[in-house]
């Protein structure tokens, strides 16, 4: 069944709700989970603007360190939730493009299920902002459980 479950998190309440469902699925199938947070390297360059290279490099490194800390905290929280439920858990914090790296990790690690949260953004907002969840659902070779905010 679902012996290897990948739970993608961004540290939000929506992700926490998805993690609860993923942990529940792991408990029912006597599986294990991998909690993953992907530091989005694409976002950090967009806000730098026309700064000098030295200043931009310092800012980018500061953002990267901050996002890695956020990722460590988010995956640690899922680890604690899983341990309380008696579920084996592994944590990963990656740097790259979230949807692509979630899909690659799921495939490379032979996951049986990907669990992601969704805030239910639709229409123009989704088109302009992009949606990691949508990209994962559209391109995944393994089943994806999308847990809505409400």
7-46 pLDDT, tens digit each = 999 998 889 999 999 999 999 999 999 999 999 887 655 5
120-132 pLDDT, tens digit each = 555 554 544 348 8
Give 37's strand partners: 93
Domain count, the chain: 1
Q: How many CA atoms lie within 13 A of 111 on its CB side?
A: 28
CATH number, domain with residue 93: 3.40.50.620
Give the range of the structural domain holding residue 109, as residue numbers without chain letter: 4-148
Q: Identify the residue whose tokens are 């990722």.
A: 71
Per-residue confidence (pLDDT) for residue 122, from 0 to 100: 56
Specify burial of residue 144 (Cβ count, 10 A radius: 0-12, 13-18, 19+). Answer: buried
Per-residue confidence (pLDDT) for residue 84, from 0 to 100: 97
Q: Check pLDDT > 70 for residue 58.
A: yes
Per-residue confidence (pLDDT) for residue 127, from 0 to 100: 47
Measured distance between the N- and C-terminal CA atoms of the chain, rounded to whole angstroms: 27
């Amino acid at each position: 069944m679902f012996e290897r479950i990948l739970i993608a998190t961004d540290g939000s309440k929506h992700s926490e709700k998805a993690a609860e469902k993923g942990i529940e699925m792991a408990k029912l199938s006597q599986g294990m989970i991998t909690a993953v947070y992907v530091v989005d390297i694409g976002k950090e360059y967009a806000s730098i603007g026309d700064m000098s290279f030295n200043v931009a490099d310092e800012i980018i490194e500061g953002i990267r360190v901050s996002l890695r800390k956020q990722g460590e905290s988010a995956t640690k929280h899922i680890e604690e939730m899983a341990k309380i439920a008696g579920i084996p858990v592994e944590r990963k914090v990656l740097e790259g493009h979230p949807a692509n790296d979630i899909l690659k990790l799921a495939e490379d690690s032979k996951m049986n299920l990907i669990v992601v949260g969704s805030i239910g953004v639709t229409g123009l907002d989704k088109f302009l902002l992009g949606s990691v969840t949508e990209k994962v659902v559209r391109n995944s070779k393994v089943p994806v459980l999308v847990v809505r905010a409400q």
